[in-house]
Amino acid sequence: MPVEIANESDVPVDEAGLARLCRFVLADLGVNPLAELSVLVVDTEYMASLNQRWMGEGGPTDVLAFPMDELDTARRPDDPEPGPSLLGDVVLCPAVAVRQAAAAGHSFEDELHLLTAHGILHLLGYDHGDAEEEREMFGVQGRVLRSWQDSRVNDR
């Protein structure tokens, strides 16, 4: 599963680890292995401009997701016809993630992983606009992140 990570911020991130997480999440959710994902890591100024332009909100946010194709990319690998190859872009702002991690009492890496999984779920059509959608999305997000953590413990 091709995953491209581009860090354009001044905050160092484990790009290889982030790519492994992305591949894990996509595989766990049954996304066609031909799907491609792009993750862009940006500074607060750029994220604020994206947030204003696309969401109408002032200031930087933690994660934005920009789907590129229809959701049939999420078809099972054994389907006779592969879906579109480009899933979309997840944009992360590590400077915001650093603050959120401190407030939540967990590591920067854990926060970045949570945000990455959250962005991928948005690309796959999950949302949290109402209580039912939020329960579903956050339930899937929690399950996938627990599976990711378990796989990392078993790899050691």
Taking the model in full, what pTM does it have?
0.88
Confidence of residue 9 (pLDDT cuts 50, 70, 90): very high
Q: Give the relative orientation of helices 94-104 and 108-123 as an angle to the nearest 10 degrees.
A: 120
Confidence of residue 33 (pLDDT cuts 50, 70, 90): confident
Q: Which two tokens stand for residue 29?
A: 């959710």
Domains in the chain (CATH in brackets) are: 3-155 (3.40.390.30)
Is residue 14 over pLDDT 50?
yes
Average pLDDT, the chain: 90
Q: Among the ranges 74-78, 82-86, 128-132, 151-155, which has the highest mean pLDDT value?
A: 128-132
pLDDT at 73 (0 to 100): 45
Phi-psi group of 35: left, alpha or beta (phi > 0 → left; psi -120 to 50 → alpha; rest → beta): beta
Closest CA to 119 of 139, 86, 89: 89
Please give the average per-residue pLDDT across 125-144, as a whole number. 95
